[in-house]
Amino acid sequence: MKYSIGVDMGGTNTDMGLVSENGNIIQRRNIPTNAYTELEPYVRDMMHEIEAMVAEQQALDGQPLTLEGIGIGAPNGNYYTGCVDNAPNLTIKGVLDFGKEIHKYRDVPVVLSNDANAAAYGEYVYGGAKGMKHFIMFTLGTGVGSGIVVDGKLVHGSTGGAGELGHNILIPHGRKCSCGREGCLETYTSARGIVQTYCELKGIPVSSDVTSKMIGELAHQGDLVALKTWETVADQLGLAMANSVTFSAPEAIFLMGGPAQVGEPLLKPLRAAFEKYLLNIYQGSCQICMSELKANEVAILGAAALIKMKSEK
């Protein structure tokens, strides 16, 4: 039997999964990323868990398994170099060459990309984007990420860092962004941006007691400020999505992540704003879809899907 490994490297935890050919996560393990400050012990423990999953699966299958590769989705992951480049949110600093380290333990293809790219590719291989040649994925969370597929291939660009639509400047001289610039999409439609909008509309100081999840619940209870917040976010995200269509004329834009889970308070005004901002030649040609992968599986499946990309090259 053939399997691949998907690794979702987050700032806090690293989730690993053994994934079957048809995209089921058969086994899962995790280690705490923030317990490490060096790559060597981190990869050693990661490989320990991976080998344990492999051994267990071989026992269950009653035969040796073929491991097609290890795919890793990580912040600042660079597909071309296979390295994580100085990710600010990781306790392990510097340029991290995963392939080199992993190959000390096992001779297996290693593919790495940033987490949003991996999520987009997971949607393509295992989710709702199957068979689509052109689509874009927006991931809403602590930040706003994106992954872009053109002609059936993930766009990496000349540097490996393509697809950072969260840092498209939506409103010139707008909100201050953590990247040092102003007006990035992320400052409006990330979880934190949504909280800021709510607090501004409510006329209260921005507080860490407010979460985008709470604002979602309030909207479902009919709270007017919460509803207005999602309408505002929908207008901003709809504009950004419409702008992205002028680039690659995708057949669909996918949406995932915590804030997107709010459902209709966001989606209904989002679809309206999107069509309103869309250039006439694109109207009706691009649908907005929710990711069809489960929230707790998409990162692992996306990482595992990267292996498929490598083997198709």
Which residues are at the interface with a second copy (CB under 8 A)? 76, 132-134, 148, 150-151, 153, 155-165, 167-172, 179-181, 239, 242-244, 246-251, 277, 279-282, 285-286
**Residue 277 Cβ vs a second copy, minimum distance, rounded to whole Å:** 6
Pick 23 or 183: Cβ nearer a second copy = 183
**Residue 78 Cβ vs a second copy, minimum distance, rounded to whole Å:** 10
**Residue 155 Cβ vs a second copy, minimum distance, rounded to whole Å:** 6
**Residue 297 Cβ vs a second copy, minimum distance, rounded to whole Å:** 27
Structure tokens at 55: 């051994």
Cβ density class 220-251: b for 16+ within 10 Å, e for less: eeebebbbbbbbbbbbbbbbbbbbbbeebebb
**Residue 59 Cβ vs a second copy, minimum distance, rounded to whole Å:** 43
Give yes or no for a contact between 304 and 4, defined as CB atoms under 8 angstroms apart: yes
**Residue 147 Cβ vs a second copy, minimum distance, rounded to whole Å:** 11
Pick 160 or 269: Cβ nearer a second copy = 160
For 151, other C-beta atoms within 10 Å of its C-beta total 8
Pick 43 or 87: Cβ nearer a second copy = 87
Pick 26 or 169: Cβ nearer a second copy = 169
Pick 240 or 307: Cβ nearer a second copy = 240
Pick 5 or 154: Cβ nearer a second copy = 154
**Residue 292 Cβ vs a second copy, minimum distance, rounded to whole Å:** 19
Pick 154 or 219: Cβ nearer a second copy = 154
Residue 279 burial class via C-beta count within 10 angstroms: exposed 0-12, middle 13-18, buried 19 and up: exposed
Give yes or no for a contact between 290 and 261, defined as CB atoms under 8 angstroms apart: no
**Residue 146 Cβ vs a second copy, minimum distance, rounded to whole Å:** 8
Pick 69 or 183: Cβ nearer a second copy = 183
Pick 1 or 247: Cβ nearer a second copy = 247
**Residue 156 Cβ vs a second copy, minimum distance, rounded to whole Å:** 7
* Distance in angstroms between the alpha carbons of the first and the last residue of the chain: 22
